[in-house]
Amino acid sequence: MCTMIAQQVSINGSGKAGEGWFRLDTASVSYDHPFDMPLEYTLNLDFTKQAGNPGARVAVELDAASARKLVEVIQEVMKIAEDGGFVS
Amino acid sequence: MYTTDQYEGMLAETVVLPGYHADLINAYFARPLGQGPFPGMVLIHHLPGWDEWYRETARKFAAHGFVTLCPNLYFRDGHGTPEDVAARVRGAGSVSDEQVLGDIGAALEMVLASPYVNGKVGLFGTCSGGRHAYLCACRIPGFSAAVDCWGGRVVMTPQELTPKQPVAPVDYTADLSCPVLGIFGNDDQSPTPEQVDQLEEALKRHGKSYEFHRYDGAGHGFFYHNRPNYCQEQAVDGWNKVFAFLDKTLKGA
């Protein structure tokens, strides 16, 4: 988009959208104009299956504070899970 | 200017054209009814996609007397809602400048070949489409006017260059072959007022014909009536500037 601040990473997971659950293989992370949030810029997460049609997408648009909070919480949860021996 | 005693009619539909590498892509086409001759316009959509705002805008140009073609630059990335397709392109780092040049050059040829066109064709683009409009006005001979609305990354640092965007459009300014209208918001972060200054300096240095309008109280995308950044007063004045510029350059008014 306008900022071109975007990165992609391969992932392994499942996501749910209008068509139900499907396997995810790619996450795109960008900081650019949102489609829906009433802000000029947001942190955008697109979880997709690259071989699927463009509609195979789980989309999230977050304001900057929410994005930072989410990263922290994910790290905290993963640490608790690792410390508890749940992550191999 | 429209008056209430005038006949008005238009044709608007999806068409197909051979774009870059002769790939068949679709495009939205809107034109006034009648023999003309009418001036032409090529619209370059923004990175949020080949969306409803651009189809509306194509019809707006047709209502103002322009034969208008808006190619789908994301045709090769699959089909779905404009948002889903645009999100895929965003994740892939956009489309290449080379591909855009091929698609827009083909659109110019198609409009020029229309029997009801007067031989003059302009360019209009917003956001990334504003950047592409400036790039195409420099790299494709044959356009008679270009409108760059808040095109970000026309001025780029070396660190911002990518394989898909290997040259900053401002660096092609010496090759600019038509007058340019620039519409910018002074609160925009891409382009910043300082980047607009740099673009203006390049146009002056190369002796190019240009007209810039910079609006206080407006940021990025202030024409978009479906987004919170819409600014009514600035947008109305900006649209008036757009059509005055195109009437002068393409209709000879």
The answer to whether residue A44 sits within a structural domain is yes
Contacts of B81 in chain A (CB under 8 A): 54-55
Q: Count interface pairs A-B at CB distance under 8 A.
A: 83
- Residues of chain A whose pLDDT is less than 70? 1
State residue B253's pLDDT score.
54
Do B228 and A38 count as a contact with CB atoms less than 8 A apart? yes
- B2 falls in which pLDDT band (50, 70, 90)? confident
The answer to whether residue A61 sits within a structural domain is yes
State residue B140's pLDDT score.
98
Q: What is the mean pLDDT of residues B9-27?
A: 97
Q: What is the mean pLDDT of residues B159-166?
A: 94
Q: What is the mean pLDDT of residues B85-108?
A: 96
Do A4 and B85 count as a contact with CB atoms less than 8 A apart? no
The answer to whether residue A64 sits within a structural domain is yes
Q: Using one digit for the tens of pLDDT, what is the confidence trace for B35-83?
A: 999 999 999 999 999 999 999 999 999 999 999 999 999 999 999 999 9
Chain B interface test: which of A11, A35, A41, A48 (most B C-beta within 10 Å): A35
Share of chain B above pLDDT 70, in %: 100
Nearest-by-CA chain A residue for B220: A40
Total structural domains in chain A? 1
State residue A88's pLDDT score.
81
Nearest alpha carbon to residue B106 among B46, B42, B173:
B42
Mean pLDDT estimate for chain B: 96
State residue B252's pLDDT score.
77
DSSP secondary structure letters along chain A: --S--EEEEEEEEEEEETTEEEEEEEEEEEEE--SSSSSS-EEEEEEE-TTS-TT-EEEEEE-HHHHHHHHHHHHHHHHHHHHTT---
Q: What is the mean pLDDT of residues B92-109?
A: 96
The answer to whether residue A1 sits within a structural domain is no
Q: What is the mean pLDDT of residues B221-232?
A: 95
Q: Using one digit for the tens of pLDDT, what is the confidence trace for B176-225?
A: 999 999 999 999 999 999 999 999 999 999 999 999 999 999 999 999 99
Contacts of B219 in chain A (CB under 8 A): 40
**Is A49's Cβ below 8 Å from some Cβ in B?**
no
Do A55 and B227 count as a contact with CB atoms less than 8 A apart? no
DSSP secondary structure letters along B165-233: S-S-GGGGGGG--S-EEEEEETT-SSS-HHHHHHHHHHHHHTT--EEEEEETT--TTTT-TTSTT--HH
Question: What ipTM did this prediction achieve?
Answer: 0.88
Domain extent, residue A14, equals 6-83
Chain A interface test: which of B227, B229, B230, B231 (most A C-beta within 10 Å): B227
State residue A4's pLDDT score.
86
Topology of the domain covering B10-250:
Rossmann fold (3.40.50)
Q: What is the mean pLDDT of residues B124-143?
A: 98
